[in-house]
Amino acid sequence: MTVEFQARTEPFRRELLAHCYRMLGSFHDAEDLVQETYVRALRGYAGFQGRSSVRVWLYRIATTACLDHLEGRRRRALPSGLGAPEHDHRVRLVPGAADVPWLGPAPDHRLGVGDDPADIVAARSGVRLAFVAALQLLPARQRAVLILRDVLAWRAAEVAEVLSTTTVAVNSALRRARDTLAPVVADDLSEPPDPATRAVLDRYVTAFVRADVDALVGLLRADVELEMPPIPTWFTGADAVGRFLAERAALWPDRWLVRHTRANGGPALAMYVLDPGRHEYAAHGITLLSLLGGRVSRVVVFNDETLFPVFDLPVTEPARAAARAASRAQGEARR
């Protein structure tokens, strides 16, 4: 039975992972809940009588597991969802309370989002960071209804089966969910990954690594936003963001190593910082970028080295010209 079970259920693992991520706002929690889903499904497989498809059956188990997990928990958020922005880059930064649950990123390749343009467009509507953050504003069952109906395009009857309710209740919950999200979901999707967009990203990386602040600021929209969970303070405006990067991100040439990756249906950067003592670059964080009109409109920096294994990235990289870079970094630090 185990072989048969795996053959029938494994094809749905990645889409269930994306579903749980939308529900929970945490990739780590989503992985745990997908594992729980398969444990529950295996236990109940002998009693599965095929009255619905295997896919619907698995979604019912996964959604129930997510609803159980969310009961009594605080919603996950980004700093922009908790307070007003700062315009002065000199403001003191204080980490948020330890019990604040922050929204996290999700790597595209783990959710089945490839390089095909159709895949990327579909991913934008379902896993982009701003949308997942907005979903967290909804009560858990409304969240499930909206995901199943508007993201996955399920029929109301299928959703009613998953949630053990009626189509009338599903349609009512969907209306309320749409009304709640309408004022807060902006159309801020990143542009398609065409050569022009990649060129902007390459210029951003080059400017960052070379500590070319003028070039970096020139790539930012006037209304650019910068967020850095778990720090609740966030910034808006090219001047504030540019000055923050120049003065407080410790920019000096060769201190940073940057690798391209993808997360939440858009471009992302894996940031490594030089460890002069070890002559290597150590994992620092994952940065998600939104582009609009050929410029960077939003920067979300997740300073969490534990994300690198999730993205299948090494936690250290050999330093290029390490002795020269270390000497330069030490010289800058003494200024």
| pLDDT tens, position by position, 252-307 | 888 899 999 999 988 999 999 998 777 899 999 999 999 988 899 999 999 999 99
Asked if residue 10 has pLDDT above 90, the reply is yes
Counting residues of the chain whose pLDDT is more than 70, the rounded percentage is: 88
Distances in Å between the alpha carbon of 172 and those of 26, 84, 148, 179? Answer: 27, 32, 14, 11
The three state secondary structure string of the chain is CHHHHHHHHHHHHHHHHHHHHHHHCCHHHHHHHHHHHHHHHHHHHHHCCCCCCHHHHHHHHHHHHHHHHHCCCCCCECHHHCCCCECCCCCCCCCCCCCCCECCCCEHHHCCCCCCHHHHHHHHHHHCHHHHHHHCCCCHHHHHHHHHHHHCCCCHHHHHHHHCCCHHHHHHHHHHHHHHHCCCCCCCCCCCCCHHHHHHHHHHHHHHHHCCHHHHHHCEEEEEEEEECCEEEEEECHHHHHHHHHHHCCCCCCCEEEEEEEECCEEEEEEEEEECCCCEEEEEEEEEEEEECCEEEEEEEECCCCHHHHCCCCCEEECCCHHHHHHHHHHHHHC
- pTM as predicted: 0.88
CATH architecture of 76-137+184-335: Roll (3.10)
Asked if residue 63 has pLDDT above 60, the reply is yes
The predicted pLDDT at position 320 comes to 64
Cα-based angle 35, 230, 214 (whole degrees, multiple of 5): 120
The predicted pLDDT at position 193 comes to 54
d(CA 269, CA 250): 17
d(CA 3, CA 42): 11
